[in-house]
Amino acid sequence: MKMVEELISRYQGSEHIKKLRETVSGDTAAVFLLEGLAGGQDAFILSGLFLQGKAPQLFIAEHKEQAAYYYNTLETLLGDQATFFPDSFKRPGNFEEINQGNVQLRTEIAGKLGVAYPQPFIIVSYPEALFEKVVKPDMVDAMKIRIEKGEPLDVETMIELMVSYDFKREEYVYEPGQFSIRGGIIDVFNFANEWPYRIELVDDEVESIRMFDPVTQLSVRSIEKLTIIPNVNSRFSSRDKVSLLEILPQNTVIWVKHPESLTDTLVDCFEKVSLLETRLTDPLDDLSLFFRERAFILPNELINRLKDFTTLIHGNTAGLDILIKEKIVFSGKVQTHFNRNFKLLIEDLETLTEKDYSTYLWVGNDKQIKRFKQVFEDLKARIEYTPVPLTIHEGFIDHDQKIVCYTDHQIFRRHHAYSLRTGYSKDKAINIRMLRELQKGDFITHIDHGIGVYSGLEKISINGNVQEAVKLLYKNKDILWVSINSLHKISKYSGKEGSLPVLDKLGSDRWKKLKAKTKKQIKDIAQDLILLYAKRKSAVGFSFPADDYMQAELEACFMYEDTPDQASATEAVKEDMLKAYPMDRLICGDVGFGKTEIAVRAAFKAVLGGKQVAILVPTTILALQHFRTFTERLQDFKVRVDYINRFRTTAEKTLLYKKIKEGTVDIVIGTHALLNQKTMFKDLGLLVLDEEQKFGVAAKEKLRSLKVNVDTLTLTATPIPRTLQFSLLGARDMSILRTAPPNRQPIYTERRVFSEHLIVDAINFEVDRGGQVFFIHNRVKNLAELTLMIKKLLPDVRIAMAHGQMEGKQLEKTLLDFIDKKYDVLISTNIIETGLDIPNANTMIINNAHQFGLSDLHQLRGRVGRSNKQAYCYLFAPPLSTLTTDARLRLKTLEDFSDLGSGLDISMRDLDIRGAGNLLGAEQSGFITDIGYETYEKILEEAIMELKENEFRDLFAEENTEGKTYIRDVEVDTDIEMLIPSEYISQTQERLHQYNVLDRLENEDGIGKFISELVDRYGKLPHQINNLIEGLRIRWKCKELGFERFSLKEHKMRCFFVGNQTSSYFEGPVFNHILQYVTTHGSAKRLTLKQTPKHLILIRENVRSLKAARLALEEMEKKEDI
């Protein structure tokens, strides 16, 4: 970016940097002490020195987090000239689990140092990473396998080499050290590259080499040659490994941030390793090999090696045996603390502008740039500054250069997260798919025949041609074969976890009746919603004024960066508030996705418009929590916020009712006590409902009278089923928050066997840093016993117990005391699953985690990680080998997907069920359990469509005239060979997945992408797959032409028209055109029409292929514009 290049070039060309370079570039190594550096200034000095001298640099931070922040800043300033050198483990200093992605990155960097690398670069690292040795680059080089495009390659020899180099053969490649062979395609994930490689052979010659994404398994780009190296953990002995410092070029400049921290950490690592060596049991795993080979260096060895280089120290050297050659003094100052106050910021910037300082505001994105601009213009700020839509970790003032760099995350005390390259894992790549896909024995739902059991994918012969079909078992062992052209009719049964469905009997009417009953219920509910919508559109509301600078200021100082969903939801709410009719919008998003912030912004807009705001919440705890949140966010804007709940005295309530009536309170938050007859607003403009579905019938009736002419905003943490969003969009405006705030750190999640030692460590760690701990144990029976045990283990820690069987007031008091930090640990059942928002609680221990559903685990984990601290979640469960496959998969999935919000996708199954139940009522939840969620969605869609086309055709007239279709589904029946040959894709599960992908395609672009992905992964397409694709195209064409069934058998094509003889289709232009076409061209094209009791059928003789059938249908359509 030009502005960044200009800024760095100022440092590169400055006299200060030139002098620094001359000072440190002597012939002999020496140590220099840097003083007066502030914030991120040293990253800018380092960048200037690097660019001027082009000497390699090693920056040693105090710990991994600091190293990551510096690496991100240097990456912003210098791009890929900076690289990150990690330790080999999942957590620094915790030598229990090796991270192959980190091992791969270390080898990659060591390899760059070992060759005549054309460009010097900057390495950012930390003590734990330097404690480990790396393989000598020349040793790695000697064992490389080199593969080039156009060169010969024998597959058998390749397999032998891969196995001898400790690569494991797999079906698909997901992590370093794996390879797979599928026909003429070899996939390899090397130990020294970020991406795996795909080698495509023609006979024995390499035709192409491509990098591919291990998650999608699709190629990213082509390359000319590839080098493969062996497993560095198992293949090399300690004699082959050296300290990183031994392979650094001699002219490397080493920066050490706080040297005392370096020595302390190295000693700590050495002690941990010595202790762990005695506990290892498996002599052949990577961890044992690492320790057996003593692949680390002693602390004093590393410190002595530093003396061979020019070293720049920034930090305290007291008590260390370091000879300082010279002090180099800078004139830096840390970024001023503005405490989210724009006026203080403007005053500061005006002073700096007068002094002729160059000011750079690092604000992260373009939206934030616009907000700053609006506030500065409205407040008539006389400042000159350069906005930069990028981030650095800390701001500073450099008096020597007269440069100011301020970061918006420090201005607003917002957490700023770092980003590091992460390795891939097989589990992460395929767990979601495994949760969705069919395994033998799974319950399935067929839209026409009901619930059965999936029994596999089998080949069947139709008139001598082979096809694949899904075999389903029903009651009394009846068998139903489902063609691969009808896979959209079946779905994996998704009911409540733990409850088994009832199998249907083929031919019985139970399923038909259940579907009809469900559809009627849905129509009744949807009808009410649509009527409400019509009524609201005709009502008169209050049109709020457009945003001013105060609104922009409030939004700019939000602690987290807005997600795209949050930004669009905020805009949608504000647009609704500008309209003349009352708003009724539902904001739906997972835990921690920022729904409350949208409510804060809407409430502030209402207050600026001179109106009062009522916020209704279901629990006393939430009322108090919202009161604190709103007060904190709006304290700088003189907004008067108050709350009412049953803990307040009668006198306090009476005074509050008086204030509400007089209009001397702007925002009032409360439970259903707010619906009291005494509550009389002077001028209510906005009603915010949090989790409306949790209110009783009486409360909802009172709400309806309140809502008539008032803007209403409803918040829910319950994910709403996707189809419901689209189907009911006409009945209620909806905003969905799907993305988590980007500035939050992932929650470190780890599976462990129950351990008193870990409980003590985890709780002490959290309490020592001033935090709090949730301990979840879901059995009330022995909760008190567990609490007593933990109190004995930790006598100095304040511990409370809570569960749903406690008396109401006592439970609420316990929870409130925990919120007020009167307790350090809360031991409870999963009652804390929703609603409790305690940013200070950042460690969670879940006992017997294997007994929880995936969504429950996800919701529970969402209680921590709600601040800028690193959060931890420990899942206590028996060893994986003793668990059921489902339980193992749930725990692994949760552990692999630790990002906030990633669980929304994983647990959509459970959450969808709960969402539909809450939105549509308990009875609907029962229907979902009976018929399965996806089938419920299909019926729901049909019901809504029927309502729009019939009962409410006038209200949706415009929508109904746009591209009306009479056919929802087309059945394709043929005896032509159409399948994915097992020689092409050998794994049954993968074939079924590809059939499903194909079945869901909607256009030619999708087909093109599908073909290119298959060719990329498996090679040239067999003709049978082309037939599958033609079958799909015919399905689309039949839908357009009004055929609900297509048959091509023994070269005779039959197309069955719409089954409903009274359908308006038969009076429409499409049918009339087909009739005209048959009349005109029937004898020439061998076309006839045949009427049966149920159907009118179009027949054509002598159709030799599916392609010919498709062309015939297209020709019929083309003869005239239909």
Confidence of residue 286 (pLDDT cuts 50, 70, 90): low
Across 1014-1029, average pLDDT: 92
Helix/strand/coil for 443: strand
pLDDT at position 465 is 87
Could you read off the pLDDT of 726-739 as tens digits, one per residue? Answer: 444 455 677 878 77
pLDDT at position 48 is 92
pLDDT at 719 over 60: no
pLDDT at position 1060 is 84
Distance in angstroms (rounded) separating the CA atoms of residues 450 and 206: 51
Confidence of residue 71 (pLDDT cuts 50, 70, 90): very high
Largest CA distance in the chain: 104
Confidence of residue 910 (pLDDT cuts 50, 70, 90): very low
pLDDT at position 348 is 92
Q: How many beta carbons lie within 10 A of that of residue 650, not counting itself?
A: 7
pLDDT at position 898 is 57
Question: Is pTM beyond 0.75 here?
Answer: no
Distance in angstroms (rounded) separating the CA atoms of residues 435 and 420: 28
Could you read off the pLDDT of 296-318 as tens digits, one per residue? Answer: 888 888 888 888 899 999 877 76
Beta bridge partners, 206, equal 201
Helix/strand/coil for 555: helix
Give percent above pLDDT 70 in the chain: 86
Distance in angstroms (rounded) separating the CA atoms of residues 94 and 246: 25
Q: Dihedral of CA 568/572/573/577: which sign?
A: positive
Confidence of residue 1055 (pLDDT cuts 50, 70, 90): very high
- The mean-pLDDT minimum among 365-374, 517-526, 989-998, 1053-1062 falls in 517-526
pLDDT at position 361 is 94
Mean pLDDT comparison of 496-500, 683-687, 746-750, highest-scoring range = 683-687
397, 400, 403, 404 alpha-carbon torsion, rounded to 10°? 10
Distance in angstroms (rounded) separating the CA atoms of residues 204 and 185: 11
**Which pair of structure tokens corresponds to residue 134?**
């790396």
Residue with tokens 């050297």: 317
pLDDT at position 897 is 60
pLDDT at 430 over 60: no
Distance in angstroms (rounded) separating the CA atoms of residues 296 and 572: 57
Give percent above pLDDT 90 in the chain: 36
**Which pair of structure tokens corresponds to residue 437?**
């896909």
Distance in angstroms (rounded) separating the CA atoms of residues 18 and 12: 8
Across 1070-1098, average pLDDT: 91
Across 958-984, average pLDDT: 80
pLDDT at position 571 is 94
pLDDT at 49 over 70: yes
Confidence of residue 906 (pLDDT cuts 50, 70, 90): very low
Q: Which residue has the higher pLDDT, 497 or 76?
A: 76
pLDDT at position 909 is 42
- The mean-pLDDT minimum among 221-235, 517-531, 1020-1034, 1048-1062 falls in 517-531
Strands 178-182 and 168-169: parallel
Residue with tokens 């929650």: 747
pLDDT at position 289 is 63
pLDDT at 664 over 90: yes
Q: Which residue has the higher pLDDT, 907 or 778?
A: 778
pLDDT at position 117 is 56
Q: Which residue has the higher pLDDT, 457 or 500?
A: 457
pLDDT at position 364 is 83
pLDDT at position 427 is 43
pLDDT at position 29 is 84
Mean pLDDT comparison of 40-44, 334-338, 703-707, highest-scoring range = 40-44
Contact 505, 476 (CB under 8 A): yes
DSSP state of 745: P
pLDDT at position 918 is 45
Concatenated DSSP letters for 629-641?
A: HHHHHHGGGT--E
**Which pair of structure tokens corresponds to residue 542?**
């209050």
pLDDT at position 961 is 55
Helix/strand/coil for 924: helix
Q: How many beta carbons lie within 10 A of that of residue 323, not counting itself?
A: 8
pLDDT at 437 over 70: no
pLDDT at 1061 over 50: yes
Task: Tell me what the pLDDT averaged over the chain comes to.
Answer: 83
Residue with tokens 């009486």: 698
State residue 397 phi and psi, 5-degree precision.
-120, 125
Contact 148, 227 (CB under 8 A): no
Q: Which residue has the higher pLDDT, 836 or 326?
A: 326
Across 593-608, average pLDDT: 93
Contact 861, 749 (CB under 8 A): yes
Helix orientation angle between 908-920 and 922-931, rounded to the nearest 10 degrees? 140
pLDDT at 92 over 90: no
- The mean-pLDDT minimum among 26-35, 267-276, 921-930 falls in 921-930
- The mean-pLDDT minimum among 280-294, 441-455, 762-776, 801-815 falls in 280-294
DSSP state of 824: S
Q: How many beta carbons lie within 10 A of that of residue 183, not counting itself?
A: 15
Q: Which residue has the higher pLDDT, 90 or 497?
A: 90
Contact 1105, 1112 (CB under 8 A): no
Q: Please list the helix, strand and coil fractions of the chain in percent, rounded to the nearest 5, in that order.
A: 45, 20, 35
Distance in angstroms (rounded) separating the CA atoms of residues 883 and 862: 24
Could you read off the pLDDT of 540-561 as tens digits, one per residue? Answer: 888 999 998 889 888 888 877 7
pLDDT at 59 over 60: yes
Contact 222, 216 (CB under 8 A): no
Confidence of residue 387 (pLDDT cuts 50, 70, 90): very high
pLDDT at 725 over 50: no
pLDDT at position 904 is 41
Domains contained in the chain, CATH given: 2-134+240-329 (3.40.50.300), 144-228 (3.30.2060.10), 332-411 (no CATH), 426-522+926-961 (2.40.10.170), 539-737 (3.40.50.300), 748-899 (3.40.50.300), 971-1118 (3.90.1150.50)
Contact 928, 917 (CB under 8 A): yes
Q: Which residues contact 885 (CB under 8 A, 6 or more apart)?
A: none
Distance in angstroms (rounded) separating the CA atoms of residues 827 and 720: 31
Could you read off the pLDDT of 757-777 as tens digits, one per residue? Answer: 889 989 998 998 889 999 999
